[in-house]
């Protein structure tokens, strides 16, 4: 039976999930995961405590609890359960108080709430990336922080959205399609913003597999067409001296971080 893990917070529980997933990924076993956000009252805390205790009684396996609970009275109820608790916030707060010579001032929803200073920037970035996805318009490229280029299905859209949602980066993207291949060149709006251009490429075999899932046995998905498009686009990158990375073996998180690392773009963290 897979061990059960609870991610609990009196806020969104995103912090507990991110830290918890990072830690659990080091262990080669599957975990049954339960996320419980907004445990803001003692009645909710007691209900969560009962849920954890019932899990232990039913399975005989002590559940893991990863929590980032700000309110001490809520935290005490949850940690009095039969689970093994790991407190991400207070593990670091006390040593930092000593190092900085000042007391922390805990407040709910400070990390992922609207009061966070970068919140509006991230919302603007997300709206921008959605409005400027897949070459829908070239009118607002001057406002982009970065413009991702590449063939269809190489990862442009998910990378653009991840950059905007996680880092507040205004990321547009532009696709090169089959009709472009005979005379592949940069549109004027992209030439004007050449310093913002960043290319994505992908192994043709992997591109073929992805496109097969979308339009099976079509010219668009054929291995020959995939090879032609990838070759032509990579030649353009080299000719125009556009930096690029291969996305074949990387997740969207890794792709986005590599882009930030290579471009030096500022991260607007939440």
| Ordered alpha helix ranges (H), the chain | 14-24, 42-59, 72-79, 88-100, 119-131, 156-167, 188-192, 204-214, 223-240, 252-263
Place 236 in a pLDDT band, splitting at 50, 70 and 90.
very high
Q: Could you state, in order of their start, the residue ranges of all structural domains in the chain?
A: 4-100, 119-263
pTM: 0.73
| DSSP one-letter code for 265 | P
Structure-token match 């700000």, residue found: 70
pLDDT at 269: 63
Instruction: Round to whole Å and give the CA distance between 236 and 10.
Output: 51
Q: Is the pLDDT of residue 233 over 70?
A: yes
- DSSP label at residue 175: E
Asked whether 149 and 202 are in contact (CB, 8 A), the reply is: no
List pLDDT tens digits, range 253-262: 999 999 999 9
Say yes or no: domain 119-263 is CATH 3.40.50.
yes
């Amino acid at each position: 039976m897979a061990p059960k893990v609870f991610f609990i917070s009196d806020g969104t529980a995103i912090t507990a999930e991110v830290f918890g997933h990072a830690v659990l990924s080091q262990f080669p076993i599957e975990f049954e995961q339960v996320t419980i956000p907004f445990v803001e009252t003692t009645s909710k805390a007691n209900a969560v405590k009962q849920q954890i205790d019932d899990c232990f009684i039913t399975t005989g396996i002590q559940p893991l609890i990863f929590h980032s609970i700000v309110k001490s009275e809520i935290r005490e109820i949850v940690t009095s359960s039969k689970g093994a608790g790991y407190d991400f916030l207070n593990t670091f707060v006390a040593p930092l108080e000593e190092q900085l010579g000042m007391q922390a001032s805990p407040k709910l929803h400070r990390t992922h709430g609207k009061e966070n200073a970068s919140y509006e920037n991230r919302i603007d970035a997300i709206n921008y990336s959605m409005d400027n996805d897949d070459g829908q318009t070239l009118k607002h490229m001057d406002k982009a922080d970065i413009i991702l280029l590449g063939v269809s299905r190489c990862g442009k859209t998910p990378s653009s959205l991840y950059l905007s949602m996680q880092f507040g980066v205004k990321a547009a993207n532009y696709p090169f399609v089959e009709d472009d291949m005979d005379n592949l060149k940069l549109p004027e709006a992209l030439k004007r913003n050449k310093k913002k251009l960043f290319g994505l490429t992908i192994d043709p075999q992997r591109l073929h597999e992805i496109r097969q899932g979308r339009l099976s046995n079509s010219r668009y998905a054929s291995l020959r067409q995939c090879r032609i498009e990838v070759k032509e686009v990579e030649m353009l990158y080299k000719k125009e001296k556009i930096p690029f990375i291969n996305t074949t073996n990387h997740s969207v998180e890794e792709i986005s971080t590599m882009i930030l690392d290579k471009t030096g773009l500022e991260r607007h963290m939440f």
